[in-house]
Structure 1
Amino acid sequence: MRPVLRLLPLPLAIAVCLPAMADDKPVNWGLCPATETLPAFDDAPAADPVAAGSRDQLPTDIEGDELSGTNTTPQYQGNVALKRGDQFLGTDNLRFDTETGNYIAEGNVRYSDSSIRLVAERAEGNQEADTHKISNIRYQLVSRRGNGGADSIDLQGSIGQMHNSTYTTCDPSQPVWKLDAPHIEVDNDEGFGTARNAVLRIGKVPVLWAPYFKFPIDDRRQTGLLYPKLSVSGRNGLDYAQPIYFNLAPNYDDTLTPRYMSKRGLMLDNEFRYLYGNGRGQLDTTYLPNDKLRDRDRSQVEYSGYHNVDENWQARANIGWVSDERYFEDFSNRLLGVTNSTLQSTAGIYGTGRNWTAGLMADYWQLADYTLTEAALPYNRQPRLFATWDQPLGRWFEAGVYAEAVNFVHDDIHLKDADYERTGVTVERPGGARLDVKPYLSMPLAGAAWYVTPTLAWRYTAYQLDKDLAAQLGGERTPTRSMPITTIDAGLFFDRETKLGGDTYLHTLEPRIYYLNAPYREQSQLPLFDTRAFTFSWGQLFRDTRYTGADRQNDANQLTAALTTRLLRQADGREKLSASIGQITYFDDSRVTLNNAEAIVEKGKSAWVADVNWAINDRWTVGTTYQWDPTYKREDLASIRARYLMPQDGVVNLNYRYRRNTSTGSDQLEQVDLSFLYPINPSWSVVGRYYYSLLDNKPLEIIGGVQWESCCLAVRALARRYVRNREGELNNSFQVEFVLKGLGSAGQDTDRTLRRAILGYNRDDLYLVPPSNIAGAEDDYDPNLIP
């Protein structure tokens, strides 16, 4: 028999109400019991998300042990089961009136679909009026973790009311926390629920009471309060932030966050986001009137966004501004706040095609370090036009060109006294314009185990300088430089199979040579707008210049010889060992320098550059980078790093870093960094970091903390001590976070702090060397890199 009977819309009021408040952060449920609150019903169909999407178009099949009554009022008894797609409704007794639409289901009422599984004592209602009442309910979510119950649910169309309902992600045998509410209203059309007198209990202790609050029940955004953040620090005192979310429209929203700091005052932080078919953007503003510690107003503005003009062109902007030079020092809780001395704003239009890139942009630099003057700022490029093009030329050749035209301007320099206060004396810094063009022709030849790429380039650079700057450089306002650059890049690949410890490996040997020749050109009459020396490293062995930017092109007659070897495990491709070593031989002195203080590169040998990474086993990895200068018989750089992966997601990192200033011969940096996550048992773990400068004999950051975790609750407590400014002053802070798994968290975002401080904290970033936090901008133009 196949009557027209819709299944009860039970998930409406349960599966999408309280658990809809769940946090999006991935949660570890490994400590939860394996048993289910409500085991799957034997006669129910398997959960099928595909069937769930088409259930409304499917008929309902009904069966039972006994059928009685009439055609208009059938009564099913004994193992009654209704099935439609992924939905199942089972009961001992079902009475249905086909004329009025009334029904009653009694005894062992069971319902399940792809999102929820529940049992109830009784269900009754009217299918035609779409009204239902379900009594004495216990439920378990299937699509995500969560369980609870309710005395009753009343449904009328898209509106539902829950009475004396509960929700938790804990196992019923371990109810660490539970959220209950005497009354909850759910509006499926509007996409929100309203709870009254809701109470959050930890154990049996009520810790939070909300007389009235609204919350979303689906993916639609709703205006309301977000979870607060609370911390205590020596710099700000008690620090409490309460985000308020405003759903203004489907494609834009706003989050206003009042933040109270007992030592500073009330700050307002606002985040506005928008999205449309051809772009998106975000505007962040912060305002603190009358900072009690600085006795002045403090503010910050940040904007980032883009607009796709067409398939080749995109307009982008990244704009930032701060009210004063101490802003980052005071309001950044990372070491970046100490090292970030400038703030860059850029805006422009950028294009890319199959064989070309181009852009027109402008930027502006703001000083963000009170110990410096505007002399430390780079020149503003206002505007900057660049283009690149490369194209195969016949069968053997490849041709290309790099071109850039820039106008450089600079803010006036305001001199400061010994206390970093402005003296009132202003010094102008003149600028100028520059054109740089670099066409090249290369001949890439390659075989299965070799390659040779000779390249001939010609670099032409011309200037139009301000009169004052030209006078400083010798008087010529339109200096030029023109020179050929020749490179030959060649390498071989050897490989063989070998066995080590019972495993089969692919062993490679990869020798490489790189020859560079460029004649000497006198360049002391050229300005230094955006050019500096590269830090000597492995990558520098294979560049055609020692400098960034176009203001200097070094002369060269040199050959790089390098060798790399690897062991790749055949079973899974993992790199067991990689080792590289290389050195430059200078056949002649390289006389071009940035300024008179920089020494020329003399004929002879460069420092040896070596890098080794070794996976001792699947848990231990070690690596080192080393530079040895044979001329002075000293090390210029040394880096040793090690990581050990413990069971239960534990990790230990140990790093040592040393660098010498090659210009002066003095020590520039020497640091040690120990960080760890140590699991004591499945529930308890300790975390820590000790980041210390041996050169300055002081800590840079110290973190100590403890974590406790159960099936459905986690608590993290951290104490931090870290450098807060360039004068080396230390700040103390204490952070606590409570994570109710499946519901949300309250307190500071300790997870973010620990992921930054402890490499591999969540074991999803198991690289040995962290990536650089100074990434190139998307509009980067580097004419010094030739394919």
Structure 2
Amino acid sequence: MRQANRRLTLKSNRVRRALRLLPLPLSIAICLPAMADEKPVNWDLCPTTDVLPLFDEAPKADKAAAAMRDQLPTDIEGDQLSGTSTTPQYQGNVALKRGDQFLGTDNLRFDTESGNYIAEGNVRYSDSSIRMIADRAEGNQESDTHKISNIHYQLVSRRGNGGADSIDLQGAVGQMHRSTYTTCDPSQPVWKLSAPQIEVDNDEGFGTARNAVLRIGKVPVLYAPWFKFPIDDRRQTGLLYPQLSMSGRNGFDYAQPIYFNLAPNFDDTLTPRYMSKRGVLLDNEFRYLYEGGRGQLDTLYMPDDTLRARSRGKVEYSGYHNIDSNWQARANLFWVSDERYIEDFSNRLLGVSASNLQSTAGVYGTGTTWTAGLMADRWQLTDYTLTEASLPYSRQPRLFATWEQPFGRWFEAGVYAEAVRFTHDDIHLKDAGFDRTGVTLAQPGGSRLDIKPYLSMPLAGASWFLTPTLAWRYTAYQLDKALADSLGGERNPTRSMPITTVDAGLFFDRETTLGGKSYLHTLEPRVFYLNTPYRDQSALPLFDTRAFTFSWGQLFRDSRYTGADRQNDANQLTTALTTRLLRESDGREKLSASIGQITYFDDSRVTLDSAEAIVEKGKSAWVADVNWALTDRWTLGSTYQWNPKYRQEDLASLRARYLLPKDGVVNLNYRYRRNASTGTDQLKQADFSFLYPINPSWSVVGRYYYSLLDRKPLEIIGGVQWDSCCLAVRALARRYVKNREGELNNSLQIEFVLKGLASAGQDTDRTLRRAILGYNRDDLYLVPPSNIAAGEDDYDPNQIP
């Protein structure tokens, strides 16, 4: 008869110890995939059945029970109990349970005096992380030695499974003999990792495999006579997986990362890299972490790059330190050895277009009603076709603060303030071949104080808002003599002026039905009036000020310039209208359309320099934007600017996206921009990209990014992806612009993803996510940054709340 829930005291403690040790040899099954990629793994193509089905007698997996298993007693059940009190023997459906742990067997006998035990016949073990079956388990509790024979296991969360002929345990150290690991279904063993001997040290947290072989199908593709690996979350010094690629610029490209676990809170990764067409380099990444901050230092050194016949290098640091709940110190520092470094070491179009690097360091604070900071920055030239004259001024140092606070019942008061010293590197002139001529021009700088207090009265109701605002802007300079002489001789010019704005809008909505579905239809008119008197600013320098690109956001700003060196005069009114269709069942926006225009009642005479034309009395370009979700899969969008003065468009863009089943996507984009002042085309591009699933296993990817002005491609990508339950392979061919001369580079990227183990080759996922919007579906729901948004270090006094 089954003896249900019979509890033992001393005996249960010894059985509890056996239960704790039984799964330890199987830590190899957990450690083999320890170096797996962090990308979410797709197991959709795997069979729905488990390799080892759930044991009926086992308790339900419970993380809470797993956490406190050591404090729980062990329950033993069996059909028959025989033997003596010192040598009890359970027979028939023996089950030991403790928390989330379960051990089942046909027969269990042990000697409470000697500590010997034997479990044989249909041995089964499971807990929250693993299930296993074995023929026999025996050992001694006192000497803490154990041997388990003919094991098969399955990891519950990772789908990993495999087996071993036997496992020997001596305390926390174990040996596995003829062990295997795979995440494939046994009926389809696409890949398998096997080793005749694996040693595991649970106290030290590492394992050592000897003569390990990785097979894809029946073909051995990797042999390791010896390697050491972590078996838990503790980091271990050793080799990481290599990176391989082939390109026209680099040739055969091999990088081998070496990881150094220096301390619990800092580590280092040294990566020797060989490029057959360029030479050898060393790349290093040092990271640290502590309770109040973290940081990372990246360095690279290449003693002889045959591409440029010189040594190359970089230093990059980023980190922060939390001083207290309000203040933080942070830095982002960059240095490269030469002006072609970014171009030569980047495989993206950004490497061709980037012309400078900015380094910043400072202390920043924020509170409920205020922000403040003290920082400095510096710029480095990374475009060999330019001189230092193209670099922005460095701010060394810069102090800024903002404050806003409700004032009384109706008002809100605030102030923007900034004090900054501008410096600039000397300009080294170049000849027609972009070589330095030896002629150097000094670039003078100066200091600037900018203060902008304001008072506003925000009024609002359920369907309207009205916000009149009055601001006063005072700007004062102290210029270096050479710069002052070039601007008329005044070393301490000032500017002072009032700025008046009125922002008002209405909200109308109604319920409507389209195609049998209920929608909320909104109509949102808005007006924005701006009045600023004219001040002659020709004696003021241009340190950090540029004109904003005209866009929807520009319709509602109180200046068309970023920076404090120019404040345009204005007597203008913006009128705009937005309408939306919101699906009432789920709130999804079916349609949004906006249109707006500025009416200039007077000429705006302030300009950046003589090359910029004044804004004449009349109408600005119409700005329109439409987004339409035809279906839940089809979306269309367009942005358009029509200039009535020139009777043609200044900007046009068309966007179309179709979401295919099985995470496929097709994107089609067209972009056009014209320089309104010169009438010349600035940009005309077409961009087509797709991820097309042919069937559950095969898919093709591609991108064709073409410049219609230059009549040449900017990037072409073609690739194929194959996916299975446990293995994925991606192969990409790329052709892209590699330098400012417009030369094209060819590359081939291949990546093997052994799901639950690792990936080898290039990171094709990063390439495809950049090139194909929607390659990762989650990327479609990220909000892109506004083209007028201020950065975290930017002082933006031109946007009145």
TM-score range, shorter chain: over 0.9
**CA displacement 1:259-314 (0-9 Å, x = unmatched):** 10011110100000001111110000000001112111000110001111111111
In structure 2, distance between residues paired with 1:779 and 1:427: 29
Match of 1:283 among 297, 313, 329: 297
Over the aligned positions, Cα root-mean-square deviation in angstroms equals: 1.2
Match of 1:42 among 31, 36, 56: 56
Residue matched to 1:112: 126
Give the partner amino acid of 1:435: L
Per-residue deviation, 1:99 = 1.5
Is 1:491 the equivalent of 2:496?
no
What is the DSSP-based 3-state SS (H/G/I as helix, E as strand, rest coil) of the residue aligned with 2:343?
helix
Note if contact 1:11-1:115 (Cα within 8 Å) is conserved in structure 2: no
In structure 2, distance between residues paired with 1:568 and 1:128: 71
Per-residue deviation, 1:770 = 5.1
In structure 2, distance between residues paired with 1:77 and 1:440: 87
Residue matched to 1:758: 772
Residue matched to 1:480: 494
Residue matched to 1:13: 25
In structure 2, distance between residues paired with 1:458 and 1:185: 75
Stretch moving more, 354-363 or 19-28: 19-28
Is 1:192 the equivalent of 2:206?
yes
Give the partner amino acid of 2:487: L
Per-residue deviation, 1:23 = 2.7
Per-residue deviation, 1:768 = 9.1
Is 1:595 the equivalent of 2:648?
no
Give the partner amino acid of 2:268: D
- Aligned pairs for 1:450-529 (under 5 A) are 450-529=464-543
Stretch moving more, 364-373 or 121-130: 121-130
Per-residue deviation, 1:21 = 3.5
In structure 1, distance between residues paired with 2:285 and 2:31: 27
Residue matched to 2:286: 272
Note if contact 2:643-2:649 (Cα within 8 Å) is conserved in structure 1: yes
Match of 1:202 among 183, 207, 216: 216
- Structure 1, unmatched stretches of 5+, are none
In structure 1, distance between residues paired with 2:789 and 2:157: 39
Match of 1:250 among 256, 260, 264: 264
Using a 3 Å threshold, how does the CA distance of structure 1 residues 699 and 769 change in structure 2: closer, same or farther? farther
Give the partner amino acid of 2:23: P
Is 1:540 the equivalent of 2:557?
no
Is 1:52 the equivalent of 2:66?
yes
What is the DSSP-based 3-state SS (H/G/I as helix, E as strand, rest coil) of the residue aligned with 2:484?
helix
In structure 2, distance between residues paired with 1:526 and 1:337: 34
Per-residue deviation, 1:191 = 0.8
Per-residue deviation, 1:326 = 0.4
Residue matched to 1:784: 798
Give the partner amino acid of 1:519: P
Note if contact 1:473-1:525 (Cα within 8 Å) is conserved in structure 2: yes
**CA displacement 1:560-619 (0-9 Å, x = unmatched):** 000111111111111111100000000111000111111111111100000000000011
In structure 1, distance between residues paired with 2:383 and 2:36: 41
Note if contact 2:180-2:195 (Cα within 8 Å) is conserved in structure 1: yes
Match of 2:146 among 109, 132, 145: 132
In structure 2, distance between residues paired with 1:662 and 1:435: 33
In structure 1, distance between residues paired with 2:76 and 2:261: 44
What is the DSSP-based 3-state SS (H/G/I as helix, E as strand, rest coil) of the residue aligned with 2:485?
helix
Give the partner amino acid of 1:11: P
Give the partner amino acid of 2:125: Y
Q: Give the TM-score of the pair, scaled to structure 1.
A: 0.99
Using a 3 Å threshold, how does the CA distance of structure 1 residues 775 and 705 change in structure 2: closer, same or farther? farther
Give the partner amino acid of 1:766: L
Is 1:378 the equivalent of 2:392?
yes
Give the partner amino acid of 2:83: G
In structure 1, distance between residues paired with 2:468 and 2:516: 43
Using a 3 Å threshold, how does the CA distance of structure 1 residues 56 and 527 change in structure 2: closer, same or farther? same
In structure 2, distance between residues paired with 1:505 and 1:124: 70
Residue matched to 2:101: 87
Residue matched to 1:2: 7
Stretch moving more, 682-691 or 772-781: 772-781
What is the DSSP-based 3-state SS (H/G/I as helix, E as strand, rest coil) of the residue aligned with 2:483?
helix
What is the DSSP-based 3-state SS (H/G/I as helix, E as strand, rest coil) of the residue aligned with 1:17?
helix
What is the DSSP-based 3-state SS (H/G/I as helix, E as strand, rest coil) of the residue aligned with 1:766?
helix
Give the partner amino acid of 2:22: L
Stretch moving more, 577-586 or 308-317: 308-317
Is 1:368 the equivalent of 2:373?
no
Per-residue deviation, 1:662 = 1.5
Per-residue deviation, 1:774 = 9.9
In structure 2, distance between residues paired with 1:626 and 1:86: 62
Per-residue deviation, 1:254 = 0.2
- Indicate the percent of aligned positions where both proteins have the same amino acid: 84
Per-residue deviation, 1:156 = 1.9
Match of 1:728 among 726, 734, 742: 742
What is the DSSP-based 3-state SS (H/G/I as helix, E as strand, rest coil) of the residue aligned with 1:765?
helix
Match of 1:695 among 709, 716, 724: 709
Stretch moving more, 760-769 or 78-87: 760-769
Q: Give the TM-score of the pair, scaled to structure 2.
A: 0.97
Using a 3 Å threshold, how does the CA distance of structure 1 residues 632 and 768 change in structure 2: closer, same or farther? farther
**CA displacement 1:199-250 (0-9 Å, x = unmatched):** 0001111111101101011111111111111001111111100000000000
What is the DSSP-based 3-state SS (H/G/I as helix, E as strand, rest coil) of the residue aligned with 1:664?
coil
In structure 1, distance between residues paired with 2:677 and 2:342: 31
Per-residue deviation, 1:776 = 4.6
Note if contact 1:643-1:768 (Cα within 8 Å) is conserved in structure 2: no
Is 1:605 the equivalent of 2:610?
no
**CA displacement 1:177-217 (0-9 Å, x = unmatched):** 00001111111111111111100001111111101101011
Per-residue deviation, 1:459 = 0.3
Residue matched to 1:573: 587
Is 1:231 the equivalent of 2:245?
yes
Residue matched to 1:427: 441
> What is the count of residue pairs matched by the alignment?
787
Is 1:212 the equivalent of 2:226?
yes
Note if contact 2:33-2:758 (Cα within 8 Å) is conserved in structure 1: no
In structure 2, distance between residues paired with 1:504 and 1:672: 37
**CA displacement 1:519-566 (0-9 Å, x = unmatched):** 000001111010000000000000000100000000000000001111
What is the DSSP-based 3-state SS (H/G/I as helix, E as strand, rest coil) of the residue aligned with 1:596?
coil
In structure 2, distance between residues paired with 1:772 and 1:112: 52
What is the DSSP-based 3-state SS (H/G/I as helix, E as strand, rest coil) of the residue aligned with 2:25?
helix
Residue matched to 2:3: none
Give the partner amino acid of 1:117: R
Note if contact 2:370-2:403 (Cα within 8 Å) is conserved in structure 1: yes
Note if contact 1:491-1:512 (Cα within 8 Å) is conserved in structure 2: yes
Per-residue deviation, 1:76 = 0.6
Is 1:551 the equivalent of 2:565?
yes
Using a 3 Å threshold, how does the CA distance of structure 1 residues 744 and 42 change in structure 2: closer, same or farther? same
Per-residue deviation, 1:16 = 2.7
Per-residue deviation, 1:773 = 9.3
**CA displacement 1:110-133 (0-9 Å, x = unmatched):** 111111111100001122332211
Per-residue deviation, 1:786 = 0.7
Stretch moving more, 492-501 or 369-378: 492-501
Residue matched to 2:413: 399
Match of 2:454 among 437, 440, 457: 440
